[in-house]
Chains A and B, each alone.
Chain A
Amino acid sequence: MMFLQTQGITKEFGKLRAVNQVSLDIRKGDIHAIIGPNGAGKSTYFNLITGYHQATFGKVIFKGEEITHLPAFRRCKHGITRSFQITSIFPKLTVYESVLMGLLVHRGVTLNFFSTSKKFFEEEVYRILEDVGLADQADTLGDSISHGDKKRLELGITLGTEPELLLLDEPTCGMSPEETESTMIFIRKLVEEKGLTILFTEHDMSVVFGIAKRISVLHQGTLIADGKPDEVRANDEVQKIYLGGTA
């Protein structure tokens, strides 16, 4: 049984076909990168998997179950969580509360009206905060931390939902080289230690070729290559339209 599968998935916005019949298998435990030039349809493809957009046609199958038409929040319940390209956090919640939120949802206690929310999952929250390196800023508001920390906070929020499949839309965008490095190490650790599957998009090719086990290339909404990093790097078409022959 395939972990995540898209079958001929297509999204049209008016006459524009942003994603064109993309069929792709994502295997459990992989770090899978989706790359492509601007406007290639990477984000739209992400949105089809996470339920931000509904597919015009085609299917999304997760662990043998079709989820093509499920609303976004239900897909999260199935174990799919995402980060956004433009960092999406809770500006006026503390770092602690933000990470707690994911846990409250995932552990199904959000309909508890009478217990104090901060008493829940304190250990788990701190473990995540330590993992993403934000434990010392637990009581700081989300909008008062640095840009790189916000990215890591969003990662922490998504980890609260204890996902099986994590989609990261440009996880190191805007980070310093050191932050990028530590994020890459962290992503690899997530896969190795927690058995997560990661699907991500990224502009920085050193990140892509540094951590991805598989790479799929989109161009104008169409899948043009899919395989191990070396295979993709050697692919003539990819060289021509995307890597500019320099990679």
Chain B
Amino acid sequence: MMQKHLEKKESILKRGWWLILLILASLLAPFIFTEFYLNILCEALVMSLFALSFNLLFGYMGQLSFGQAAFFGLGGYAVAMLMTKVALNFWLSLLAGPILAALIGLIVGYFCVRLRGIYFSILTLAFGQLIFVIVFKWHNFTGGDDGIQGVFPPDFLKSATVYYYLILLVFLASAFILWRIIHSPFGQTMKAMRENSERTEFLGINIARYQLITFVIAAAFSGLAGAIWVPFYRSVAPGYLTWIKSGEPVMAAILGGSSTFFGPILGMFVMTFFHAYVLGFTHFWPVIMGTLILIIIFLLPGGVLGFIQEKLKERREREKQET
């Protein structure tokens, strides 16, 4: 037994080296990247957090939310409005983002978790668009289609480099928490519901309740992503809440591999950097992105990381058989 545990520990170090390397590299990023690409890196990290929260529902609970941007946007609006309208402290405003998103997530989720499959997706889409329309039309409260400008972080956070470290910190802490949740007994229950909700229910799990909790957690982290982004971008607009924005984590998860924890992060990085790069010489970005998605779906149906994971597993099994 002891031997087994030791072996496990060793293999984590062996297999986790790339993660340690990536975190070290990300600490050095401001010294390597130009300011333009540092900004893109910030966006990629924020959107990755958004994609991770989305994948909690999609990859782990097995339900496709198509209105996740509503929570991202709500987080952003909470920060923007609290900071500009009531001049609330930056940190408290930041905290209010996920809290508001979670509260609205509780209400929206209450209705959505009663449905499965396409009906769940359509209802999340409908709620998402409903929230968007409220923000868009309620001009004298939210600023309507003008959005809100002039959302400035405190002075010491105004430089992109310093704010980058704040984003990195929030991202790493959130990713760590989400990782722990996925590997906890609650996470195991999420996966069981995805695999066979009937079997799970007949073991004694109240499916609606557990799906609602997952929905609220996902909403909170989407809200946090929106909340941390807006002061960096200095403004918020209703576009953040639309279904187009909701589609981004869907594509990132498919691109990177929704069955893996890091897949959506990889997908979002590829999308964000590719987007920034392609826009430098053409406006036909959607055509290129569409082609990329098609290639992935036809050639690597599990996404990039899903494919790699599969290959690694095959290799490990071959090695095991040979020894």
Q: A61 near B: Cβ within 8 Å? A: no
* B144-188 vs A, Cβ < 8 Å mask (1 yes, 0 no): 000000000000000000000000000000000000110111111
Are B188 and A101 touching (Cβ within 8 A)?
yes
* A119-138 vs B, Cβ < 8 Å mask (1 yes, 0 no): 01000000000000000000
Are A113 and B203 touching (Cβ within 8 A)?
no
**Residues of chain A contacted by B201 (CB below 8 angstroms):** 72-73
Name B181's contact: one of A76, A90, A114 (CB within 8 Å). A114
Known: A93-B195, A117-B188. A76 touches B183 (CB 8 A): no
**A76 to chain B: closest CB distance in Å?**
3
Which of A7-15, A81-89, A174-182, A193-201 lines the interface with chain B? A81-89
* A57-80 vs B, Cβ < 8 Å mask (1 yes, 0 no): 000000000000001111011000
**Residues of chain B contacted by A84 (CB below 8 angstroms):** 198-199, 202
Q: A38 near B: Cβ within 8 Å? A: no
| Nearest CB in chain A to that of B189: its residue | A110
Name B186's contact: one of A97, A110, A160 (CB within 8 Å). A110
Are B184 and A113 touching (Cβ within 8 A)?
yes
Name A90's contact: one of B196, B205, B210 (CB within 8 Å). B196
Cα distance A116–B184 in the bound complex, in angstroms: 5
Name B202's contact: one of A50, A90, A92, A93 (CB within 8 Å). A50
Are B180 and A113 touching (Cβ within 8 A)?
yes
Q: B200 near A: Cβ within 8 Å? A: yes
Q: B291 near A: Cβ within 8 Å? A: no
Q: B29 near A: Cβ within 8 Å? A: no
Chain B interface helix/strand/loop/mixed: helix
Are B199 and A104 touching (Cβ within 8 A)?
no
**B9 to chain A: closest CB distance in Å?**
13
Q: A102 near B: Cβ within 8 Å? A: yes
Q: B192 near A: Cβ within 8 Å? A: yes
Are A72 and B202 touching (Cβ within 8 A)?
yes
Are A92 and B203 touching (Cβ within 8 A)?
no
Are B184 and A115 touching (Cβ within 8 A)?
yes
Are B185 and A76 touching (Cβ within 8 A)?
no
Name A105's contact: one of B181, B187, B203 (CB within 8 Å). B203
| Nearest CB in chain B to that of A82: its residue | B202
**Residues of chain B contacted by A111 (CB below 8 angstroms):** 185-186
Cα distance A158–B180 in the bound complex, in angstroms: 26
Q: B204 near A: Cβ within 8 Å? A: yes
**B182 to chain A: closest CB distance in Å?**
9
**B8 to chain A: closest CB distance in Å?**
10
Are A160 and B191 touching (Cβ within 8 A)?
no
Cα distance A84–B186 in the bound complex, in angstroms: 24
Most chain A CB neighbours (cut-off 10 Å) among B188, B204, B205:
B204
* A139-160 vs B, Cβ < 8 Å mask (1 yes, 0 no): 0001000000000001001101
Name A117's contact: one of B184, B199, B210 (CB within 8 Å). B184
Are A105 and B204 touching (Cβ within 8 A)?
yes
**Residues of chain A contacted by B192 (CB below 8 angstroms):** 90, 93, 101
Name A102's contact: one of B198, B203, B207 (CB within 8 Å). B203
Q: B89 near A: Cβ within 8 Å? A: no
| Nearest CB in chain B to that of A100: its residue | B188
Are B185 and A91 touching (Cβ within 8 A)?
no
Cα distance A187–B203 in the bound complex, in angstroms: 19
Q: B206 near A: Cβ within 8 Å? A: yes
**Residues of chain A contacted by B196 (CB below 8 angstroms):** 88-91
**Residues of chain B contacted by A89 (CB below 8 angstroms):** 196, 199
Known: A104-B189, A114-B180. A160 touches B203 (CB 8 A): yes
Cα distance A97–B187 in the bound complex, in angstroms: 12
**Residues of chain A contacted by B185 (CB below 8 angstroms):** 104, 109-112, 115, 117, 120
Are B183 and A161 touching (Cβ within 8 A)?
no
**B146 to chain A: closest CB distance in Å?**
40
Are B204 and A114 touching (Cβ within 8 A)?
no
Cα distance A77–B205 in the bound complex, in angstroms: 9
**A215 to chain B: closest CB distance in Å?**
25
Most chain B CB neighbours (cut-off 10 Å) among A74, A104, A118, A142:
A104
**B6 to chain A: closest CB distance in Å?**
15
**B323 to chain A: closest CB distance in Å?**
16
* A19-52 vs B, Cβ < 8 Å mask (1 yes, 0 no): 0000000000000000000000000000000101
Apart from A101-B192, A113-B180: 6 A-B pairs, beta carbons within 8 A: A88-B199, A89-B199, A91-B196, A97-B191, A105-B189, A154-B199
Chain B residues with CB under 8 Å of chain A are: 180-181, 183-189, 191-192, 195-196, 198-207, 210
Chosen A-B contacts, 13 in total, with CB atoms closer than 8 Å, are A74-B204, A76-B202, A84-B202, A88-B198, A90-B196, A91-B195, A101-B203, A104-B189, A106-B204, A110-B210, A112-B186, A120-B185, A161-B203
